[in-house]
């Protein structure tokens, strides 16, 4: 996984038995270098102000970078109780986990739960710890509701995921995806037609995303379509376009259009 891929706050709801946890998944904390990143930092601070407890997910293989002093100070200043999830425990040995826990306790005394999100290790323990911070009251959402975003949002995110998986280290950060059309063209076939635009900032970036003879765009589209079909549970016709919009990440109107500014 690549860092700083989350751009907007996503609300996810987990309802189990007599408890409901509402997760505000915010962008990672970073030093802003432009309008887009300023908006991302605002999402983080707003999420902190609304939370009953803060869950900070760290990387056991790179602990000091993913839980640096700036993040620790942000958590302290929030005035909210914090739980630290030490992720990727499956990639390090027992000694490294012990040293990581020791370092965390010394640098930020709080509840720490080692987990492996990929393999599902110790997630029940993490949920148990988080439930201890929940205030008593009625459910905020019906039990069947899982998120607050429409299908269009998740379709765009699945396309953007393929950009990160198939392109280089830096280019995906200069891209944005907008779903322009989302409808059933032929109800008799039960197929959903989706037209989406991938925005880049430079003509050279457009060439890379499209690839020689359109090969890269075709690959991105094929993999994205499979994931979208699995997500929606029905066949999909996916049409992708790549357009240049210079400095889109620095223009307020464009960021509002793409949903990054509210």
Q: What is the pLDDT of residues 27-45, one digit of tens each?
A: 555 555 666 666 666 676 6
Instruction: With cut-offs at 50, 70 and 90, classify the pLDDT of residue 15.
Output: very high
Out of 100, 131, 162, a domain closes at 131
Domain count, the chain: 2
* Together in a domain, 32 and 116: yes
Rounded percentage of the chain residues whose pLDDT exceeds 90: 44
Start-to-end CA distance of the chain, whole Å, equals 27
Q: Tell me the CATH number at 119.
A: 3.40.50.300
In a domain, 192, yes or no: yes
Tokens, residue 237: 């016709």
Among candidates 39, 45, 31, which has minimal Cα distance to 255? 39
Rg (CA), the chain: 20
Question: Averaged over 85-105, what is the pLDDT?
Answer: 84
Q: What is the pTM of this model?
A: 0.69
159 lies in which domain range?
Answer: 151-257
Residues 137, 19 contacting (CB under 8 angstroms)? no
In a domain, 118, yes or no: yes
């Amino acid at each position: 996984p690549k860092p700083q891929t989350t751009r907007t706050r996503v609300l996810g709801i987990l309802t189990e038995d007599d408890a409901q946890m509402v997760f505000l998944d915010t962008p990672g904390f970073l030093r802003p270098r432009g309008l887009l990143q300023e908006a991302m930092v605002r999402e983080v601070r707003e999420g902190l102000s609304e939370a009953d407890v803060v869950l900070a997910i760290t990387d056991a293989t790179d602990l000091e970078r993913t839980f640096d002093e700036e993040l620790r100070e942000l958590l302290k200043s929030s005035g909210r109780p914090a739980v630290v999830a030490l992720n990727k425990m499956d990639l390090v040995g027992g000694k490294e986990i012990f040293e990581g826990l020791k370092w965390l306790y010394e640098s930020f005394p709080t509840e720490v739960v080692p987990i492996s999100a990929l393999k599902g290790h110790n997630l029940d323990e993490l949920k148990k710890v988080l439930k201890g911070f929940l205030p008593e009251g009625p459910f905020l959402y019906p039990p069947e509701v899982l998120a607050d975003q429409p299908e269009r949002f998740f379709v765009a995110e699945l396309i953007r995921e393929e950009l990160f998986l198939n392109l280089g280290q830096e280019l995906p950060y200069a891209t944005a995806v907008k779903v322009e059309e989302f409808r059933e063209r032929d109800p008799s076939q039960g197929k959903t037609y989706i037209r989406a635009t991938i925005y880049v900032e430079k003509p050279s970036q457009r060439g890379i995303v499209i690839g020689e003879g359109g090969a890269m765009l075709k690959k991105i589209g094929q993999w994205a379509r499979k994931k979208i079909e699995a997500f929606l549970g029905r066949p999909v016709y996916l049409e992708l376009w790549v357009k240049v919009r210079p400095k889109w990440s620095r223009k307020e109107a464009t960021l509002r259009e793409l949903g990054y500014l509210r």
